[in-house]
Structure 1
């Protein structure tokens, strides 16, 4: 299947991406066609999973769970290591598939596939580290004479629901960590990237993953809701919008959840920072993947003494970005996921201008391609400040007082990551303590992530942490063994008295 997917992408043909259920590629549901946002034609075709297919996948997952759990961690690790090498071997072809399906420039698409390979390698390493504890039960009088052991057991059936903006790497995180933990996994692909999702599943199957470990289903929210409600599902990992995350939680009921939701990321540039370097970095990270990242640079607060210098340098860096065909090697900014998303950038730019902000660049679109947009000094109640734009728009805002700007950052309903440019250690520690975010990037923008470092947010940005080691905690349960009357610890409550 992997070669079929990549061969079609190589030829720019429509890529057929069937579901994978009960060890077989293929489905009976209606077609789900994906229009490439830059090409404006059908680039991939999936098969929407039917109610019967969903029921079959859930039932089979319940049967498969014990089989997959019996696979030794070393065997899981070896498969994941092979998958890492397979992804690297097909790097350019997989990147082309992403570019066709999502309008993501080849530069960004190759980076994503590199991260897929890295993520699988990290998952392999974490599979080898799964362990347990010998608990210190004899440290309390009630535990004397006993031994208690724990180990982390597979949760059973995991459900992975992935978004469109990084469909390959985020699926690698969810599916890779779930398999490392010893689970069978149901995957619900994003409607915008069924072929990319099928390719990641095919990479793992080609690398030796047993078919019992994964099933892939396509469709919209109704498919996701049906899977979430399945009694067979033990844990759900979802990445997407806050609104959809709330719907997932409602459909799931009393299941374990790991939700990585939206963001409205802020970056602070203090007066002691190198404003020009900060501007260049924010320009690169603010428009990569057309700003379609939950940690993309959206709000940049710049100390007033450095505001003009930053804005001039930022504008020059944005002007140097190449906008155009995602399949062109020189392109920095391709298209957004669809025309509605690009229109949001246009609409919010007009709103900000009406509220007194300056639209320095952009505020226009050509189909689904939004021109990189710079909004200077919007008011605090403008949509570009309050809401998640998830697009090619950055707002640059002056500030005067550090404590006040921390409050402005925290005014958002989201709290995923923030950036801070300063060399003042007191400010760094103060921001780390006070900012209501899951992660703080110092001397970097909000849009920075290492796949082996915990990633997640607070407030409406969700809960749980996404990175293989931390996901494995969500994908496993602690099982305890109590050995009564058997102790590896000292058994006496007091030493016998000796005759002297």
Structure 2
């Protein structure tokens, strides 16, 4: 199926995107079209699910769970290693597919697929590490004479709901870790990237995963809500907006949840920083994928003594970014996911200007392509500062006192990641302690992630950590065995 998905969209053809339900790929049924935001034409046509499909998927998953759990960790790891190799082999075709569906520059799409390969490799390594403990039960008098052991057992059925902005790699995290843990997984694709999602699912199957390991349904929030409520589902991993995350939690009820939600990430540039390096890094990582990342640079706070210098360097770096056709390998900034998203950048820019901010670049759009926008000195109450832009817009603000800027960064309902440019170890340790975020990136911007490190936030940015090692903890349950009257610790 992988080759069919990748080849069906050749030229101007529309990619036919099947569902995978109860072990069968299905194209028959109601469909929905995806219009490529840069191409402005239909690029994929998807078989969408209904309530009956959700019931079938849940029933199948309940039976399939035992089959997947019966695979040894070594077998799961071998499949994941093959999936990593296949991802690299199909990197160019998958990168083009992402560019067609989402308008993401093809070089960034290829980079995402490289991360998919790395993520599957990490999942393979974590599958081999799954084990348990011999508990120190005899350390207390009532436990003497006994032995107690644990192991990490699969939850059974996992639900993965993925976003559009990094549809391949975020699915690799969810699906790869779930399979590594021994679960069967139901995947609900983002409506904006159905073909990319189907390709990653097909890739895992081509690598040797059994059909019992995964199902794929397409549709909107109604399909997601039904899947979340299905009693067969034991754990849900969701990445998306805070509002949708709250809806997922309400629909799920008493289920395990891993929620990676929104952010309006801050980066602090102190007076001892290398201003040129900081400006170049913030420019590159503020507009990657048109700023459509939960950790994209959104707020940059610069020490006042270096503020003008940073603004000049930053504006020059942003102005040098190449905006245009995502299929062009030299393009740095393609289109946003749709015209409404690009209009949000325009509207929030205009609002900030009306409140006293200065637009140094951008503030316009061409269809779904938002011109990289730089706002200087917006008020702290501007929507572009307080809410998640999720677009090609960066605000630059001055600060005087380090403790005050930490407070300003924390004055947000989000707390995912932050960046800090300084050589002062005292500031580094203090910021690590005091910033209300899940991760602090020193001498880098907020927009940096290694797929084998714990990733997640606090406050409205969600809970749980989305990285294979930590996700496997959420995808498994600890089962305890007590051996009465049999002790490796002695009887005395």
Give the TM-score normalised by the residue count of structure 2: 0.99
Could you tell me which residue of structure 1 aligns to residue 200 of structure 2? 200
Deviations 1:184-214 (A, max 9, x none): 0000000000000000001001110100000
Deviations 1:92-145 (A, max 9, x none): 000000000000001110110000000000000000000000000001101000
Could you tell me which residue of structure 2 aligns to residue 90 of structure 1? 90
Could you tell me which residue of structure 1 aligns to residue 297 of structure 2? 297
Deviations 1:387-419 (A, max 9, x none): 000000000000000000000000010000000
Contact 1:134 1:150 in 2 (8 A): yes
Larger radius of gyration: 1
Could you tell me which residue of structure 2 aligns to residue 403 of structure 1? 403
Could you tell me which residue of structure 2 aligns to residue 365 of structure 1? 365
Could you tell me which residue of structure 2 aligns to residue 108 of structure 1? 108
Could you tell me which residue of structure 2 aligns to residue 123 of structure 1? 123
What SS does structure 2 have at the residue aligned with 1:447?
coil
Separation in structure 1 between the aligned mates of residue 67 and residue 132 of structure 2, nearest angstrom: 21
Could you tell me which residue of structure 2 aligns to residue 267 of structure 1? 267
Separation in structure 2 between the aligned mates of residue 371 and residue 283 of structure 1, nearest angstrom: 13
What SS does structure 2 have at the residue aligned with 1:302?
strand
Larger displacement relative to structure 2 (2-11 or 446-455): 2-11
Separation in structure 1 between the aligned mates of residue 465 and residue 367 of structure 2, nearest angstrom: 36
What SS does structure 1 have at the residue aligned with 2:257?
strand
What SS does structure 2 have at the residue aligned with 1:110?
helix
Structure 2: unaligned runs, 5 residues or longer: none
Larger displacement relative to structure 2 (42-51 or 401-410): 42-51
Note the C-alpha offset of 1:426.
0.4
Could you tell me which residue of structure 2 aligns to residue 497 of structure 1? none
Could you tell me which residue of structure 2 aligns to residue 9 of structure 1? 9
What SS does structure 2 have at the residue aligned with 1:187?
strand
Note the C-alpha offset of 1:224.
0.2
Separation in structure 2 between the aligned mates of residue 341 and residue 159 of structure 1, nearest angstrom: 27
Note the C-alpha offset of 1:9.
3.0
Could you tell me which residue of structure 2 aligns to residue 239 of structure 1? 239
Could you tell me which residue of structure 2 aligns to residue 495 of structure 1? none
Structure 1: unaligned runs, 5 residues or longer: 493-500
What SS does structure 1 have at the residue aligned with 2:104?
coil
Structure 2 counterparts to residues 179-218 of structure 1, below 5 A = 179-218=179-218
Separation in structure 2 between the aligned mates of residue 24 and residue 144 of structure 1, nearest angstrom: 53
Structure 2 counterparts to residues 341-380 of structure 1, below 5 A = 341-380=341-380
Structure 2 counterparts to residues 475-486 of structure 1, below 5 A = 475-486=475-486
Separation in structure 1 between the aligned mates of residue 244 and residue 70 of structure 2, nearest angstrom: 34
Note the C-alpha offset of 1:50.
1.6
Contact 2:267 2:300 in 1 (8 A): yes
Contact 2:17 2:27 in 1 (8 A): no
Separation in structure 1 between the aligned mates of residue 329 and residue 137 of structure 2, nearest angstrom: 61
Contact 2:78 2:124 in 1 (8 A): yes
Contact 1:265 1:298 in 2 (8 A): yes
Note the C-alpha offset of 1:12.
3.6
Larger displacement relative to structure 2 (24-33 or 166-175): 24-33
How many residues were matched structurally?
492
Note the C-alpha offset of 1:27.
4.6
Deviations 1:410-452 (A, max 9, x none): 0010000000000000000000000000000000000000000
Contact 1:162 1:170 in 2 (8 A): yes
Separation in structure 1 between the aligned mates of residue 270 and residue 44 of structure 2, nearest angstrom: 46
Contact 2:113 2:169 in 1 (8 A): yes
Structure 2 counterparts to residues 330-345 of structure 1, below 5 A = 330-345=330-345
What SS does structure 2 have at the residue aligned with 1:341?
helix
Could you tell me which residue of structure 2 aligns to residue 496 of structure 1? none
Contact 1:27 1:49 in 2 (8 A): no
Contact 2:138 2:146 in 1 (8 A): yes
Contact 1:20 1:26 in 2 (8 A): yes
Note the C-alpha offset of 1:32.
1.0
Separation in structure 2 between the aligned mates of residue 425 and residue 6 of structure 1, nearest angstrom: 49
Runs of 4+ displaced beyond 3 Å: none
Contact 1:145 1:485 in 2 (8 A): yes
Note the C-alpha offset of 1:23.
1.1
Note the C-alpha offset of 1:5.
1.1
Contact 2:175 2:185 in 1 (8 A): yes
Separation in structure 2 between the aligned mates of residue 11 and residue 206 of structure 1, nearest angstrom: 25
Pair 1:60 & 2:60 matched: yes
RMSD of Structure 2 on Structure 1 (CA) = 0.6
Give the TM-score normalised by the residue count of structure 1: 0.98
Could you tell me which residue of structure 2 aligns to residue 248 of structure 1? 248
Contact 1:9 1:93 in 2 (8 A): no
Separation in structure 1 between the aligned mates of residue 319 and residue 262 of structure 2, nearest angstrom: 28
Pair 1:387 & 2:387 matched: yes
Separation in structure 1 between the aligned mates of residue 429 and residue 131 of structure 2, nearest angstrom: 34
Deviations 1:331-362 (A, max 9, x none): 00000000000000000000000000001000
What SS does structure 1 have at the residue aligned with 2:9?
helix
What SS does structure 2 have at the residue aligned with 1:33?
strand
Could you tell me which residue of structure 2 aligns to residue 227 of structure 1? 227
Larger displacement relative to structure 2 (19-28 or 150-159): 19-28
Contact 1:415 1:436 in 2 (8 A): yes
What SS does structure 1 have at the residue aligned with 2:129?
coil
Separation in structure 1 between the aligned mates of residue 302 and residue 33 of structure 2, nearest angstrom: 44
Note the C-alpha offset of 1:28.
4.3
Separation in structure 2 between the aligned mates of residue 29 and residue 65 of structure 1, nearest angstrom: 27
Could you tell me which residue of structure 2 aligns to residue 173 of structure 1? 173
